[in-house]
Structure 1
Amino acid sequence: MNHNSALPRRRALQLFGVGGLTAVATACAGPGSGGGSDAAEQGSGPATDGPIEGDVSFAHWRAEDQAVFADLIDAFTAEHGEVSIAQEISPSNDYQTTALQRIRGGNIGDLFVAFRGAQFVDMVSAGLYADLTDTDVLDKYTPDLITAGEQDGVQYGLPYQFVFNQPITNQDLLESVGVTEPPTDWDGWLAMCEAVLSAGKVPMAWPGGEIGNAGHLFNAMVMNNAPSDDMCTKIETGEYACTDDWFLTTLRQYEELRPYFQNNPTGTAVEPAEQMFAQGEAALLATGSFHMTAVRELGAEFPIGMMAPITVAADEARYEGVSNATFILGVNTASENQAAAYAFLNFLSDPENAGTYANATAQHVTVSDVEYDDDDLAATSEWLEKNTLLAPRFQFTDLDIRNAAEQACIDVVGGATPEQAAERAQGVIDQRIES
């Protein structure tokens, strides 16, 4: 796989507030703010040779994973009776804005996670991550899948989840219209959409009314059009612009897709789009693998696959699709209980335990030799070997700039000309760059 993990930044992400994180499971002592451990300095490895005992705080944002983590914690503490682990969970938006200060302050997070991109970079810069480069735990991971947890040649964190930010597919519906393989170029993509439309179905259910979910399609639309893999970083620094030819080409392709979305796509939230797909009314749900569980819960019974639009000629395509490595696990340099935190990290990294997590959450993981019992994970695990680009939208560190660029695509689907949408977006971006 060829992942672009470099994330040059124009400025640090501004963090606001220090709102509380909700403690779940048992109460726990904080990791300590005094940096009293042997590995409290940036760049040093975690103290792995201490006793596995005491209270460990595990800070993350995935409330939907609370139950499976609780089971894994029970299994771990059954082996290590002198340790207790509490999950400290907050909503993802709160975690993005408050976790750095809370973890640095020593209130939570002997073991903690970060989102790929700006939050990970900020947490590394703040000295929160102990250096895992020379630890044995790295041997349990597929090297190509954990580059998002590396910076300047140092492995600070271990991305645990590996998701695909690209459309998921109703394989039965596509086969019924003669589509058995993903299209290899833009003409083929439009031909596929036309075949589905001619059969009386919606080619692509797209939640254009929610910019956060609408933006997943943006990843795939720019992955082969852009002149470099760090296209979003360069939009943010001003080196690239939404009025550049490659971005206008992308907007014109969104314009070509107008007939192939559902009615009122720019007013559609993610739940109705999921429902449309689950009921067999749409061939594709243009979000990502992370919505497979949701559509199963809505009653989808057909085989699910994945594909990404190839917006260029087949021989010009650099990437087959889009992936994202996130939920970057790390040991807190300020923790006074690093040995136990590292031991639990090592436990989560065992293939059997990582498989328990993956199959319970219907998410691929970066741990090697995991067996996927979940039918959807098994059916799509071939994508772990494909040439995918790490989702470019997470290169943005300024959400206003990201929203402006992605809103241009929504505006075009809503009826604006590509030129109008590009000019409007670039005006916002220019103001942000100059401020």
Structure 2
Amino acid sequence: MKKAKKIILINLILILLLAPLASDFLFLVGLPNYCQIIEGNEEELEIRLPFMVSVSSKQEGSLKVNGRKITTQGLNVNLTEPLALQASSVGRYNLKFKLFGIIPLQRMIVNVMPEVKVVPGGQAIGVTLKSDGIMVVRDSYVEQEDGNKVYPAQEAGIQVGDSLLEINGVKIKSKHHLARLIHQSGERGEKLELKIRKINDSIVFKEAMPVKDKSGYYMLGIYVDDGASGVGTMSFYEFEEGYYGALGHMITEDSSQLKVDVGEGEIVRANISGINQSSQGLPGEKLGTFLREQEILGNIMKNNSFGIYGKLSVQPEHPHFEKPIPIASVFEIEEGAAKMYTVIEGGEIEEFEIEIEKVIKQYRPSEKGLVIRIVDQELLKESGGIVQGMSGSPIVQNGKLAGAVTHVFLNDSTRGYGILAQWMVMETQALRDKNTREFAS
């Protein structure tokens, strides 16, 4: 009897000691601390652990775990089987997992989102984005008439990544306007007071004195840029309100790869005149032409790691989709056949066969959720695989928008990454909600 009591006591002590580590262990093996599901869909988490746990939530509602409604009292769940989650209404639930019903293991937030339907894209678009401020993209120096090199910008504390907003209270309109303001102040012998936005969005003021270079022009000794432009692909748009997502990745300044903060921007129709195929580890590219005077499709309101977003002024037609289709959640996407939509000549959207090789189970917004391979022989013949300008091309599987193409593998142009569509749609929803709040106020 004493021996049995001793064993029980030792087991209880071990459980109490190991319990704090169990949360990290469960997360590593597949039980996330955050999960997003779509209203009405049953989503399954594959945990496969030899544990019986109790799951409870203070938020009583429509959420079911393994077919049973969640309660404050808790449900016993066997983690050796898939954890099936389903809710018939939108809401947010904070689930608590306990071992033996008493030892806390982990919390998991389940966010139930409404089912959203969008029209897939595939249209070739020209993108013109003017930065909010003039971006410092590289350090330099000013070479004076006697050959001496000086560094007025560096000495003033101006750094790569800074955005120059104003000089002596005058808003800077372009990089050419900036050069003119610097030279004029230098001719008058005036110091510059610069209003600067740092990478962390803080605002600072710096003073700098322009220096005359050997050609007689006053400078600060920095390279700057004021935007970016190029060709890409629209990923989707909302049928009723017209918010769209495109590219699936951030627009950056070419030389520094710094994010371009949105000042002004628009997307226009583009025409694809040809394709340079990938070769020797270099990505190919679509050869596109567009003019700002061409038909403007919409504005650009947001530029982040998941693409560019804004609102359409013209709703484009789609030859393959007359009606919106649902967004696939990460739980619904399967390894196997899918279709990609993009333009390889002129402005016509074409449908191509691809293979989803890997689905990365992401429960929070993140990049690179899919690994894909081009298997369509026509597309391989025309482009050799994924090329620049295909970024944003929508991926559809089983009648649902699964994701969008984002990057190509440099060592194998037939393969690349895709972003999950559900993360891109979150961005348009946030943009719409923000605009609604601003309009209401």
Normalising by the residue count of structure 1, what TM-score does the alignment of the two structures yield? 0.22
- Pick the structure with more helix per residue: 1
Of structures 1 and 2, the larger Rg is shown by 2
Q: Indicate the structure with greater strand content.
A: 2
TM-score (norm. length: structure 2): 0.21
